[in-house]
Amino acid sequence: MEHHHHHHDHSHKIESLNSVFIISIVLNLLFVAVEAAVGLWGNSLGLLSDAGHNLGDVFSLLLAMFAFKLAAVHSNRKYTYGYKKSTILISLVNALILVAAVVAIFVESIRKFRNPEPVNGDMVIWTAVIGIAVNGLTAFLLMKRQKGDLNVRGAFMHMVADTLVSFGVVVSGIVIKYTGLYFIDPIVGIVISVVILVSTWNLLSESIRLSLDGVPANIDIEDLKSEMESVPNVSGVHHLHVWAISTSDSALTAHVVINSMNDMKRIKDEIKSRIAEKGITHATLEFEEVGEVCVNNDCC
C-alpha cells in the first residue's frame, strides 16, 4: 500500500514537471525566434548571443524532460535501478553545452569588441524587455520545483541568470541609444558569458560528482552517521556509502553495530525512517552484534 502511494506521488510529480517544461519550452522557442530575428536586423551581438544561449536552454529543457521520462521507466533485469541515472548524465551534458556556449559567446564578443558595429538601441531595449518577461515567468514556474533535483535546479538557475542578462541588455540598449557607444554591445556579450559560466559552475561540478558516485551536495555524511548512531541501542556505524541513483534519489549501504539482534527490526525501521527524511530513498543495512568477531576484515 505504501509502495503504491509513493509511485502515485512520483507520477504526479513527473506529470506536473512535464507541463511546466512544455510551457517553458514553447515560451522560450518563441522568444528565441523573435530575439534572433531582431538581433540580425538590428545588428546586435548582445541579442544574437543571448538568442543562442536561450536556444541552448530550450535544448536543455527538452533533455531534462526526456530524463524525467526515462526516470519513470520501471527497473528490469539488466537495469535494476531502471534508467534513473540518465538524469545525472543529462545534467552533465547540459552543463557541458552551456560551457561550450560561454566559450563561443566570449570569442565572438572579443572579435566584435575589436570591430564595433552600429546597433539599434530601441530594438535591443524592447526585445530584452520581452526576454525579462519570458525568462522571469519560466523561472517562476520552476522555482517551487527546483529543490531536491539537479536538473530542475539547473534550469531554474539558468532562467534566473537569463532574466538578469536581459536586464543587462536593456541597460546597454539605453546607453547605446543616448551615447552612441557601440562597444557597449560586445561588453554585454562578455558579461553574459561570465554570468552563464558562474551559474553553470555548481551544476557542472555537482553533475561530475554524482556521475562519479560522490555524496550528493544536500547530504552531510558525518551528520548522517551521527543521526544513525543516535538511534537507541546502536553502538556504531561503519562501511557507510552514499551515492545518487538519480538527480533526486539517493541510496545508502552501511554496517550497523547493535547491542542485541533481538532489537534489530525496530532499529532498522527507525534508521530507515530517519534517513528517508534526509533524502535517502534506498537503503541496505547489514547488522552486527557488539562483540561479533570479524573474519578477514569483512565487517570492520
CATH number at residue 269: 3.30.70.1350
Residue 27 belongs to a domain: yes
102 plus 250 within the same structural domain = no
207 plus 232 within the same structural domain = no
195 plus 257 within the same structural domain = no
Position 256 scores a pLDDT of 94
Position 12 scores a pLDDT of 47
Position 148 scores a pLDDT of 62
Distance (Å, rounded) from C-alpha 154 to C-alpha 115?
35
Position 223 scores a pLDDT of 92
Assign 3-state DSSP to the chain and report helix, strand, coil percentages, each to 5: 70, 10, 20
48 plus 158 within the same structural domain = yes
Domain, as residue range, for 241: 221-289
126 plus 147 within the same structural domain = yes
Residue 153 belongs to a domain: yes
134 plus 251 within the same structural domain = no
Distance (Å, rounded) from C-alpha 266 to C-alpha 255?
16
Residue 148 belongs to a domain: yes
CATH code for the domain in which residue 71 is found: 1.20.1510.10
Position 230 scores a pLDDT of 92
Distance (Å, rounded) from C-alpha 157 to C-alpha 176?
29
Alpha helices in 43-85 (DSSP H): 45-71
**162: CB partners within 8 A, 6+ apart:** 50, 53, 54, 57, 131, 135, 139
Residue 179 belongs to a domain: yes
19 plus 151 within the same structural domain = yes
6 plus 103 within the same structural domain = yes
- What phi and psi values does residue 244 have, to the nearest 5 degrees? -95, 135
Number of H helices, E strands in the chain: 8, 3
Place of cell 527497473: 75
3-state secondary structure of 281: strand
The structure's pTM equals: 0.72
**What is the number of domains present in the chain?**
2
Residue 268 belongs to a domain: yes
Query: What's the full length of the chain, in residues?
Result: 300
Position 46 scores a pLDDT of 67
What string of pLDDT tens digits covers the 300 residues of the chain? 333 334 444 444 555 567 888 888 899 899 889 888 888 887 777 677 778 778 877 887 888 788 778 877 888 888 888 888 888 888 888 788 778 878 877 887 888 778 776 666 677 788 888 888 988 888 888 887 666 677 787 778 778 777 877 777 788 788 878 887 778 878 887 887 887 788 788 888 988 999 999 999 888 999 999 999 999 999 999 999 999 988 878 999 999 999 988 889 999 999 999 999 888 988 999 999 887 645 445 544
Boundary residue ending a domain (172, 191, 211): 211
Residue 294 belongs to a domain: no
Q: Could you tell me which of 55, 38, 58 has the C-alpha nearest to residue 122?
A: 38
169 plus 42 within the same structural domain = yes
181 plus 250 within the same structural domain = no
237 plus 202 within the same structural domain = no
User: Virtual CA dihedral for 143, 149, 152, 157, nearest 10 degrees?
Assistant: 70
Position 8 scores a pLDDT of 43
217: enclosing H helix or E strand: none
206 plus 231 within the same structural domain = no
Boundary residue ending a domain (188, 211, 234): 211
Per the DSSP assignment, residues forming a β-bridge with 280 are 250
Boundary residue ending a domain (158, 188, 211): 211
Residue 299 belongs to a domain: no
Distance of CA 173 to the CA centre of its chain: 31
Distance (Å, rounded) from C-alpha 42 to C-alpha 179?
17
3-state secondary structure of 141: helix
**Beta strand pairing status for 250-258 and 234-244?**
antiparallel
Distance (Å, rounded) from C-alpha 68 to C-alpha 55?
20
Position 147 scores a pLDDT of 66
Residue 260 belongs to a domain: yes
